[in-house]
């Protein structure tokens, strides 16, 4: 398990992996390109929000299929579910 947090610590997540993330890529969607986001894919069952789910805000655009989540306190982009 690896623990991940937003900047202020209001949101904490865990990903179930051993070792390092296997493949880190740059997303080419319009929001990720603007913020220079890099990401790695994990299965939904290997991702868990352990603190602050009530602090997360959802942002969607265009087709409203992808779900982008941000901490409502510090504004850090925590994760997303792609299209």
Q: Which of 69, 68, 56, 73 is nearest to 30 (CA)?
A: 68
pLDDT of residue 19: 76
Angstrom distance (rounded) from CA 56 to CA 72: 6
pLDDT of residue 37: 85
The total of structural domains in the chain comes to 1
pTM as predicted: 0.84
pLDDT of residue 3: 94
pLDDT of residue 78: 93
Angstrom distance (rounded) from CA 33 to CA 36: 5
- Phi and psi angles of residue 50, each rounded to the nearest 5 degrees, phi first: -105, -15
pLDDT of residue 73: 98
Q: Please, are residues 61 and 48 in contact by the beta-carbon 8 Å criterion?
A: no
Range of the domain at 67: 2-81
CATH code of the domain covering residue 25: 2.170.150.70
Low pLDDT (below 70) residues in the chain:
none
Angstrom distance (rounded) from CA 1 to CA 13: 10
């Amino acid at each position: 398990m690896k623990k991940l947090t937003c900047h202020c610590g209001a949101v904490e997540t865990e990903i179930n992996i051993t070792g390092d993330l296997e493949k880190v890529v740059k997303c080419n969607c319009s929001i990720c390109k603007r913020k220079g986001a890099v990401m790695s894919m994990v299965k939904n069952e290997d991702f868990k929000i352990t603190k602050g789910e009530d602090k997360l805000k959802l942002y969607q655009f265009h087709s409203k299929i992808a779900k982008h989540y941000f901490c409502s306190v510090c504004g850090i982009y925590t994760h997303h579910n792609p299209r």
